[in-house]
Amino acid sequence: MLRAKDTFRKMYSAAKGYYCGGLAAPNAFSALDLRHPLTSSRKPPGHANPFRVRSFTQFTLPNDSADQEIVIALGSNVGDRVSTFDRALRLMRSSGIRITRHACLYETAPAYVTDQPRFLNSAVRGTTKLGPHELLRKLKEIEKDIGRTAGVRYGPRPIDLDILLYGDSRIRTESLIVPHERIHERPFVLAPLVDLLGSSGEDGMERRWHSLSKCSGGFFDLWNKLGGESMVGTEGIKRVMSVGNRLLDWRERTLVMGVLNLTPDSFSDGGKFQEVEAAISQARLLISEGADIIDIGAQSTRPFARRLSAEEELERLVPVLDAITKIPEMEGKLLSVDTFYAQVAAEAVKRGATMINDVSGGQLDPDILQVVAELGVPYVTMHMRGDPSTMQNEQNLKYDDVCKEVASGLYARLRAAELSGIPLWRIVLDPGIGFSKKSTQNIEVIAGLESIREEMGKMSLGASHVPILLGPSRKSFLGEICSRADPVERDAATASAVTIAILNGANIVRVHNVRYSVDAAKVSDALLKYRRK
């Protein structure tokens, strides 16, 4: 706690000395540096033109006014913080706020009053027809509904909702100041705020928002001056994902997902684990070898596989799922279900699954997005063109720039999930190794994971930070490289692919042979820690 307090004191001092320290007038905003926070190699997009922003001592909008783009910060350190955020988002949507983007989720040390529990912080971007003071009133009503009462300033609270930005307006009245006057000194506010922006500088509203920061480099410069991405993963601020009843920091180490196929026709182990006892035995083996997640699939998605109905898939899945949730070895482990059906996802979570892994990203059954949003579980959305029966046809294998196009496709699936109500902090991205890709394209994707992140960061920095899951296990491209016709003989090649993937930015690896990949992950993680020193 003392280290966290000292860290925040230093951050405050840096921000205080930098903010408006004679660097630029609010409208100067020249030479805006939109560097991606993950790398220092990106070039700034050039000079941004000055923007004129509106200033109000009193401000109202008629009911028929145009939608205003807004940013609202969320904070909580009392009770079930994640459930509180979920409830706040629902109430915001029902109060005239359309949420269009979510920031990542951050667990942060308390600032100002440090003798209190750690906070969860995030932010959302959206649109509303509500005037700024009417919006403020709605947010205060939501805080009251959730249980916030008057208390110690900066002290514990079940929910805190602040208007950070409202259109391109500067507002200063007795009850409301926009932009929020303490943005510059709060890493727990700046981290979610920059998540909602893109690094390309092509969004006109974002450029105007940067001009409101009172710094020549905009909000990105404010964030970097406080420490930026180098702070994330420290005791002061951690980027986390809500899974089950815990918060997962996927930066700490690579997670290994063990594959459990209940199908007769999967390319690697079809027919081996259809019986309940065989499936349970395999689950126990995967866990004993170090699996963090068990991913159960009852439908084959190999090329040209016959598609089962949701009812047929459930018939295979439910007996095994019910049995696996009861074994003591699953304590502390995550249980994922590989499905693209909304009906299967709902039933699986009802029976104990904690994650949904959808190879179609909502394209084969669009209802799954709304269902997963309501279920409140992490959602893996994968890149695939077409479906398993068409994904390897000539048209779906054409790419001018495979990494750039995979990034664009993944971002489209992420946006569809967000607009359906799945917050960014519950989304995992899978580039889809072996799905609508040739062997050389699979290699390009594994080697280019960082470029995929950077490409998405042009549109949304938050999207560039979410966990990446990669599944190269026993895929045919490894067989081609190593001349291994039998998929089971590709485990050593899989371990090699896993190592390269982790070093290039993968956070979760999906594999059949867990023992080899756990060792590969440990070595890769050690190398990454050495790099960061």
- Both tokens of 184, joined, read 């510059």
pLDDT at 429 over 80: yes
Average pLDDT over residues 165-176: 95
| 73: nearest Cα among 139, 170, 132 | 139
Average pLDDT over residues 416-427: 97
Placement of tokens 């580039």 in the chain: 431
Q: Please tell me the predicted confidence (pLDDT) of residue 324.
A: 96
Question: Of the given ranges (55-69, 82-96, 246-260), which has the lowest mean pLDDT?
Answer: 55-69
Side chain identity at residue 260, one-letter code: L
Catalytic residue ranges: 475, 510
Average pLDDT over residues 93-103: 97
pLDDT at 303 over 70: yes
Beta strands 237-243 and 177-178: pairing type?
A: unpaired
Side chain identity at residue 370, one-letter code: Q
Beta strands 334-338 and 355-358: pairing type?
A: parallel
Beta strands 160-166 and 469-470: pairing type?
A: unpaired
Q: Please tell me the predicted confidence (pLDDT) of residue 153.
A: 77
Q: Are 345 and 304 in contact (CB under 8 A)?
A: no
Q: Please tell me the predicted confidence (pLDDT) of residue 389.
A: 84
pLDDT at 486 over 80: yes
CA distance 47 to 413: 32
What would the pLDDT profile of 101-146 be if each residue is shown by its tens digit? 999 999 999 988 888 999 999 999 999 999 999 999 999 999 999 9
Side chain identity at residue 138, one-letter code: K
CA distance 333 to 524: 22
CA distance 11 to 8: 5
Q: Are 466 and 428 in contact (CB under 8 A)?
A: yes
- The pLDDT > 70 percentage for the chain reads 86
DSSP, res 337: E
- Both tokens of 333, joined, read 């482990």
Q: Please tell me the predicted confidence (pLDDT) of residue 266.
A: 55
Collect all residues with Cβ–Cβ distance below 8 Å to 68 and sequence separation of at least 6.
Answer: 61, 127, 128, 129, 130, 166, 167
Average pLDDT over residues 266-294: 84
Side chain identity at residue 133, one-letter code: H
Placement of tokens 């988002």 in the chain: 89
Query: Quick check: helix, strand or coil at residue 123?
Result: strand
What would the pLDDT profile of 361-405 be if each residue is shown by its tens digit? 999 999 999 999 999 999 999 999 988 888 989 999 999 999 999
Q: How many CB atoms lie within 10 A of CB 450?
A: 17
Beta strands 255-261 and 246-248: pairing type?
A: unpaired
pLDDT at 24 over 70: no
92 burial level (CB within 10 Å; 0-12, 13-18, 19+): buried
- Both tokens of 168, joined, read 């391109």
| 169: nearest Cα among 276, 332, 60, 258 | 60
Q: Are 304 and 267 in contact (CB under 8 A)?
A: no
Helix (H) or strand (E) holding 101: strand 97-102
Average pLDDT over residues 26-40: 37
Question: pTM of the prediction?
Answer: 0.87
Average model confidence (pLDDT) for the chain? Answer: 88
Query: Quick check: helix, strand or coil at residue 244?
Result: coil
pLDDT at 355 over 70: yes
Q: Please tell me the predicted confidence (pLDDT) of residue 20.
A: 41
pLDDT at 38 over 70: no
pLDDT at 95 over 90: yes
